[in-house]
């Protein structure tokens, strides 16, 4: 029989190495390699257990692809489509991020920092789901007492939801067999353990094998498994790579420092788009949905301020108004700083080069700071024009009109490019009382929006001219 070889896995990036070494050569972090014995012993025994349990868990088969029986080859068109309706989580914001609800037989990983509100949100979701279905909420981090206290405080219906405090994966599988839930919540994957894996909970091998174990159970029994995953301070899940490829959806609950708002973003989704953003508020009564997020990210005073520009993002299927702020100040010794929070600092540097080369405005003796108010993270280039105008506004200490929005992508030749869904963005701004807009030529609304003055530009220079005239 072939001897099983140990590999050394980095707890930070998940890369594998044949030998132990102090530093991971893939990500450069020190002292993160731990020994891991894959295949034959460990994973096979886990797989066998999963298989044994699944035989009795099996429900009306959902395609049989994971059953471990004989392999069939079919033409794609011959594959029977099983129309399993999505299960609503009871929160529209959560459903939208998932692409329309929970899909039976899928695994959802919810990541977030401690205190983000993962347990709170999932307890609320579970209580709502338990009303119409069979839900098992397993916590490995809190006692049942604590769970009940929280549920009472949140005034959740408690008579239908089944809960258990357990960290042993095999025991949880036995509970699943006994209670046959259609939704299983595991809080959190980092404290769960398989007895057959000889390493501590939270280590790469435990996390990997336990997640694989529950993934198999989810597929075989056709149930939804929601895993909670704590995120380490540098933003990665412990054993990130090993989890991400396994699960179907990865949603991240972000908690901006000092804000009571939480954003839920899809980072991976096998059943829908990944760019949706859900917004919640953490209140005394738990997590509440925010259905009109533009209103909260835009609590501006009516007095215009230099360095502040309102822009419209496109988040998945809807527009979102946000305020960008920039501060430009004389360099305080050393190199000029370029710092961006919620934005791409490299893009900021690129825009400053465009500003210099194409408009003749040099900021090489200035520090430049940029921030998105409300803690939203912006990934789209549609904010480029607004960002550079915010920088200029601060530099010249000259505010933009309070009723003006700006959007558009900036190219390296100084051109302003159109963005997707321009009309909808403009309409959203108009709805929130904005009467003027600087936008790309290609996004000119036809027909015009009554009551809104649209200034269409095709270069940064034109945008600056337009500003000077206002």
Binding residues vs Mg ion (CB under 5 A): 119
- Alpha helix segments (H runs only) across 98-143: 118-130
Between the CA of residue 278 and those of 96, 117, 251, 253, 260, what are the distances in Å?
7, 14, 10, 9, 14
CB of 122 vs Mg ion, minimal distance in Å: 8
* CB nearer ligand TYD, residue 124 or residue 182: 124
Residue 117 binding result from Mg ion, ligand TYD, none, given CB thresholds of 5 to 8 Å by partner type: ligand TYD
- Minimum distance, C-beta of residue 201 to Mg ion, in the bound complex (Å): 15
Beta strands in 149-291 (DSSP E): 162-165, 183-187, 224-230, 249-254, 261-269, 277-283, 286-289
Q: Which is nearer to Mg ion, 119 or 255 (CB)?
A: 119
Q: Are 63 and 84 in contact (CB under 8 A)?
A: no
**Residue 310 near ligand TYD by CB under 6 A:** no
How far is Cα 371 from Cα 150, in angstroms, rounded to an integer?
A: 35
Q: Does 119 bind ligand TYD (CB under 6 A)?
A: yes
Query: Does position 288 bind ligand TYD by CB under 6 A?
Result: no
Pick the piece of the chain touching ligand TYD (CB under 6 A) from 52-60, 74-82, 111-119, 439-447: 111-119
Q: Between 120 and 199, whose beta carbon lies closer to ligand TYD?
A: 120
Binding at 104: pick from Mg ion, ligand TYD, none (beta carbon under 5-8 Å per type) = none
Window of 108-116, 129-137, 209-217, 334-342 that interacts with ligand TYD by CB under 6 A: 108-116
Q: Which is nearer to ligand TYD, 115 or 401 (CB)?
A: 115
Tell the smallest beta-carbon distance from residue 287 to ligand TYD (Å): 8
Q: Judged by CB under 6 A, does residue 286 bind ligand TYD?
A: yes
Q: Which does 272 bind (CB under 5 to 8 A by kind): ligand TYD, Mg ion, none?
A: none
Q: Which residues contact 328 (CB under 8 A, 6 or more apart)?
A: 307, 363, 366, 367, 368, 369, 391, 394, 395
For residue 63, state whether it binds ligand TYD (rule: CB under 6 A).
no
Instruction: List alpha helices for 245-335, DSSP H.
Output: 293-297
The number of residues making up the chain comes to 470
Report the DSSP pairing between strands 366-372 and 318-330: antiparallel
- Shortest distance (Å) from residue 118 CB to ligand TYD: 3
Neighbours of 130 (CB within 10 A): 23
Closest distance to ligand TYD from the beta carbon of 28 (Å): 29
- Check binding of 120 to ligand TYD (CB under 6 A): yes
Give the span between the Cα atoms of 220 and 158, in whole angstroms.
29
Task: Select the binding partner of residue 365 from ligand TYD, Mg ion, none (C-beta < 5 to 8 A, by kind).
Answer: none
152 binds ligand TYD (CB under 6 A): no
Is 225 or 419 the residue whose CB approaches ligand TYD more closely? 225
Range in contact with ligand TYD (rule: CB under 6 A) among 107-115, 270-278, 341-349, 367-375:
107-115
Q: Which of 70, 284, 302, 330 binds ligand TYD (CB under 6 A)?
A: 284
Q: What's the alpha-carbon Rg for the chain, to the nearest Å?
A: 26
Distance CA 32, CA 134 (A): 40
Q: Which stretches within 240-325 are classed as H helix?
A: 240-244, 293-297
d(CA 204, CA 124) in angstroms, rounded, equals 29
The distance of closest approach from Cβ of residue 238 to ligand TYD in the complex, given in angstroms and rounded to an integer, is: 14
Quote the CA–CA distance of 311 and 387 in Å, as a whole number: 9
229 interacts with ligand TYD by CB under 6 A: no
The answer to whether residue 439 forms part of the interface with ligand TYD (CB under 6 A) is no
In angstroms, the Cα distances linking 91 to 210, 259, 317, 410 are 28, 21, 16, 37
* For ligand TYD, the closer CB: 28 or 285: 285
Q: If binding is defined by CB under 6 A, does position 116 make contact with ligand TYD?
A: yes
Contact residues for ligand TYD, defined by CB under 6 A: 112, 114-120, 150, 154, 282, 284, 286
């Amino acid at each position: 029989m072939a001897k099983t070889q140990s590999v050394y896995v980095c707890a930070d990036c998940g890369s594998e190495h044949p030998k132990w070494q102090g530093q991971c050569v893939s990500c450069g972090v020190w002292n993160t390699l731990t020994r891991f014995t894959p295949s034959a012993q460990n994973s096979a025994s886990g797989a066998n257990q999963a298989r044994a349990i699944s035989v009795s868990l099996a429900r009306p088969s959902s395609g049989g692809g994971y059953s471990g029986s004989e392999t069939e080859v079919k033409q794609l068109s011959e594959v029977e489509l099983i129309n399993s309706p999505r299960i609503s989580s009871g929160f529209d914001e959560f459903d939208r991020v998932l692409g329309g609800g929970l899909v039976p037989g899928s695994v959802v990983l919810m990541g977030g920092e401690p205190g983000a509100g993962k347990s709170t949100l999932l307890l609320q979701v579970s209580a709502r789901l338990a009303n119409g279905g069979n839900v098992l909420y397993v916590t490995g981090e809190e006692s049942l007492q604590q769970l009940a206290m929280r549920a009472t405080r949140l005034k959740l219906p408690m008579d239908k939801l089944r809960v258990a405090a357990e960290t042993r994966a095999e025991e949880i599988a036995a509970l699943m067999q006994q209670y046959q839930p259609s939704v299983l919540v595991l809080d959190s994957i980092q404290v769960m353990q398989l007895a057959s894996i000889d390493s501590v909970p939270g280590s790469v091998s435990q996390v990997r094998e336990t997640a694989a174990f529950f993934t198999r159970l989810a597929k075989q029994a056709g149930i939804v498994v929601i895993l909670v995953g704590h995120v380490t301070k540098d933003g990665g899940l412990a054993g990130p790579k090993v989890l991400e490829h396994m699960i179907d959806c990865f949603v991240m609950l972000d908690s901006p420092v000092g804000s009571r708002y939480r954003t839920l973003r899809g980072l991976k989704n096998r059943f829908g788009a990944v760019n949706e953003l859900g917004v919640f508020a953490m209140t005394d009564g738990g997590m509440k949905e925010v259905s009109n997020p533009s209103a909260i990210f835009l609590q501006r005073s009516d007095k215009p301020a230099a360095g502040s520009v309102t822009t419209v993002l496109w988040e998945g299927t809807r527009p979102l108004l946000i305020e960008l702020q920039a501060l430009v100040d004389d360099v305080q010794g050393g190199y000029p700083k370029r710092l961006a929070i919620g934005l791409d600092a490299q893009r900021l540097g690129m825009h400053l080069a465009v500003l210099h080369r194409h408009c003749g405005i040099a900021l090489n003796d200035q520090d430049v700071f940029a921030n998105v108010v409300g803690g939203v993270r912006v990934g789209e280039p549609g904010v480029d024009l607004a960002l550079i105008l915010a920088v200029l506004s601060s530099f010249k200490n000259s505010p933009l009109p309070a009723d003006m929005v700006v959007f558009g992508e900036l190219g390296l030749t100084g051109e302003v490019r159109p963005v997707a869904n321009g009309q909808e963005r403009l309409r959203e701004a108009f709805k929130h009382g904005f009467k003027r807009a600087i936008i790309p030529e290609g996004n000119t609304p036809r027909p015009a929006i009554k009551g809104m003055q649209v200034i269409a530009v095709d270069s940064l220079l034109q945008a600056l001219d337009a500003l000077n005239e206002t």
